[in-house]
Every structure is written in structure tokens, then in C-alpha cells.
Amino acid sequence: MTAEAANPLLELRMEKPVYGGDCLSRLANSDGRSGKTVFVPLTLPGESVSVRVTEDKRSFLKGELEQVLTASSSRVSPGCKHFGVCGGCHYQHADYAAQLDLKRQILQETLSRAGIAIAGEIAVLSGAPWEYRNRIRLALTAGGELAYRGRRSHDLIAIRECPIAVPGLLRAARSVQAFLGETPSGAVVTELELFTNPEESQLQITLFCKGNFELDSQSWLEGLHAALPRTTGLRLVEEDGGLAPRVVARVGDPSLIYCLDARLEGRVEGCVEGRGARFAYRVDHGAFFQVNRWLVDRFVDRVTGGESGSLAWDLYAGVGLFARPLTARFRQVLAVESASASSAALRQNLSETNGTAIAATTLDFLRRNREQREPRPDLIVLDPPRAGLGEEVTTLLNAIGSPQMVYVSCDPATLARDLRALTLERYRIDSVTLVDMFPQTYHLETVVQLSRS
């Protein structure tokens, strides 16, 4: 059988976007009824395309774009020469207005499928679509080149540019690459992660390694730090199969200061609260922080603005991104976080405020609160990981019955599941905002404001 017979060509008209970066089309059966669904990346709704079938499953097909026969008016030339091969971006072939519309359609349909009723339109919060990522993780090829993972594969794709990243990150990565190429122990470093504050005045770098160093790891890392004078802190982490990652050496400051409203054009020296910055956050190595430097300030306002009262809970609090501004509006704030990478920074970010950091999982905190019948909060802010809240957490939240909740989600499917559980019993949705924290990709953030019905 020839390759063409095994992977036939289809001419399709693409219908609508789906979460994950593809668009879909439906084949017609011989009786004229709709047949299998075909998922195709790098296409846009309304386009006529030629597609090579790559997977044929019982109920759907997957294909790769061969040729655009009739292009959408929203199709543009990608802003990166690696687009389509690199797996980091999915929508660079669409203009930015179209990207936002695609994401709004996907969010609307995902919620509708779960039976979630929304009063009014989904609002959209967006910023500049390039040079926004304050954190990147790169792999190193066998030849020592910087690389990302490939689209629909784990292959390493050597890269020369990354226009969605803060420019200084790739420059720093190239300096690390040069150092690794000149030292014997550089061969065991397989990946590196870089994180910067919005003014690019501070930089954290983590190097991931497998195997033993031929040289003393602390001295080796100090040599790298000397070669990167603008780097705030470095750490070397050993990843060995199923074992938990282990920090084997660190140099410099283990944290950086990340400011909101830091007036980037003025490059506030030291990023100090009260001098061009509303809030200065300590962020430690390995701690989660939002990746979009252009949007994080307005995002925090959307989550916390307009809320006030006696008691607020910030669950899945991280380093206190929401808890810190909530302390200005509530007499008491409880911030719950279980990740050790964030706990110390959370305590410091809430020091000298009316906020209290609690080292616990959200589930354990809610169970304990339910047993002890502690005061009901006026507001609960929820920012769970991609897996969402889950059944027990939503049950406990319904039982507590806070008058107001704000749910921040990075996955529309788990958001829809959790909203269904919350709205079936006790809550109504007041507003939904799509926050485009990840331009050029299919990922989206959602802020849902709920009140007790």
C-alpha cells in the first residue's frame, strides 16, 4: 500500500475551532448525513483546505494541512519562523482579533455543552500579543542547541527565536548555552528554565540535569553565575526518573521581586511599593506566577477589584497574587497554599498586612472549616490548577455558602464541570471574562464571578 493510499487526501471546509488548537470539519456519509469529524491544526473556520489523513479512529479522523485552497480573511503570515513545527504556539496563522474570537467561541461552547447559562456576553481582557512570556523552559539537543518540543511530538526542535518570550530570556539562555558548551559538566544539563520580572531587572535560572557531575556542582554553578552578572539567582536541579526533583546546588538570591503596575517604560529601580508600583511580590525559584507581563496587573484587578468586606479567603493562593491586594479591602484575609515552593514567599508577601498564610491543601482547609464551623467568608477566590476543584471541594463550597466567589480557571472543561456543580445547587453566574493570558496559543484563562442565589 502506498503512503498516499494509507494517508488519503481530503478536501474539507473547516467549520469551527475546538480546544487544543485544531479546527474541525465533518464528512458527509453516502446518505448525506454527517459522518466522522475531522480535526485539523493550523486551519481557520470557513477555509477550504486539502488535508492529509494521519489517524483514522472509529468516530473521528486527524489530519495535517497540505494546502489552503480558500483562505480566511483572518489568515496572516506567522510571526515566528519556527511556527508549525515548534509546539509552543498554535494560532500564529490568525490575526489577533480572530484569535480572541476563536477562544471566545470555544469557551462559550464548552460552557453551553455543560448546561451553564451565562447572562450577557463573555467579556475579553487582552494585552499586547508578543514578547509577553516572563517564563520559558528550553531543552538542549544532543548537539547543545536550544530547543522546544515539537508539535504533536516529543521531538526537540532547535530554535533561533521566540517572539512571544521576553527578549532578554532568550539572550540569557544563549549565554548559558555558551557556558555549557565550554565546561565538562555541561553535557549532563538537559533543560533550563528562565523567569524574569516585567522590567527585566532580575532573572532566575534553573538548570535541570540527569546523571552525575564530573566537577563540584557548587563551584561549577558559581562559575556560571560569574559569567551571567545580571542573573539574580541560579539553581541546579537533578531529575532522575520517578524520583522527586532534588536541588543539588544554588547560587545567588533564591527569589526575585515582581511588581504590579511597575510602569515598564520607566523601569522602576528596585521595584519598590509606593515608587511606581502598587504591590511588590517575592517569587521564589519554582513557584508559580502568571506568565503574561503585559496583562497580570489588569487581571488581578478583574479578580479582586470592587470586592470588600470583613473576611476573604484566597484558596490555591500561590505567592499571594490575589491575597495581597485583598488585604487592602478586607479586614481579614486567609490565604491557603500547600506548595512548599510558594509558602515562604506567601508569608512574606502578607507580612505587615491583615493577611494570614495557611500551609494546607484547599481540601483539608475546607474540611477543617466545615468541622469547626468557623466564620463564613464574604468572598472566596479560587485559582485551582488545571484539574479544577473536583466534587468534594465544590460540595464543601456549596455548604459554606459564601455570598461571593470568584473562580479563576486555566482549563474550560474542568471549569464547566465545576460551575455545573456550583450553579445546580446554590450559585448563579454574574459575569464571565476570558483573559487572554497566552496569545498565539490555544490556552486561555477565565474569570467567573458568582453570587449566592
Q: Rounded CA gap, 405 and 384, in Å?
A: 13
pTM above 0.85, yes or no: yes
Q: How confident is the model at residue 6 (pLDDT cuts 50, 70, 90)?
A: low
Q: Given 3.40.50.150, 3.40.50.300, 3.30.300.10, 3.40.50.720, which CATH number is that of 111-127+294-452?
A: 3.40.50.150
Q: What is the pLDDT of residues 237-261, one digit of tens each?
A: 988 766 778 899 999 999 999 998 7
Provide the pLDDT for residue 264. Answer: 40
Looking at every residue in the chain, the average pLDDT score rounds to 92
Phi, psi (rounded to 5 degrees) for 67: -155, 140
**What cell does 377 get?**
467568608
Confidence of residue 30 (pLDDT cuts 50, 70, 90): low
Q: Where in the chain is the domain with CATH 2.40.50.1070?
A: 135-259
Q: pLDDT over 70 for what percent of the chain?
A: 92
Query: pLDDT value at position 119?
Result: 83
From 65-69, 194-198, 216-220, 311-315, the region with the lowest mean pLDDT: 216-220
Question: Which pLDDT does position 210 carry in this prediction?
Answer: 82
Q: What is the CATH number of domain 135-259?
A: 2.40.50.1070
Residue range(s) occupied by CATH 3.40.50.150 in the chain:
111-127+294-452
Which of 152-166, 241-255, 269-283, 438-452 bottoms out in mean pLDDT, i.e. has the lowest? 269-283
Q: What is the pLDDT of residues 367-421, one digit of tens each?
A: 998 888 789 999 999 999 999 999 999 999 999 999 999 999 999 999 999 999 9
Residue of higher predicted confidence among 453 and 29: 453
Q: What is the pLDDT of residue 265?
A: 35
Least confident of 193-207, 228-242, 261-275, 301-315: 261-275
Give the mean pLDDT of 203-210: 94
Q: What is the pLDDT of residues 209-225, one digit of tens each?
A: 987 666 788 999 999 99
Per-residue pLDDT, 33: 55
Q: Tens digits of per-residue pLDDT, 266-306?
A: 334 455 554 445 789 999 999 999 999 999 999 999 999 88
What are the grid coordinates assigned to 136, written together?
520559558
Distance of CA 363 to the CA centre of its chain: 22
The pLDDT value recorded for residue 242 is: 66
pLDDT number for residue 371: 82
CA dist 212 and 225 (Å) reads 20
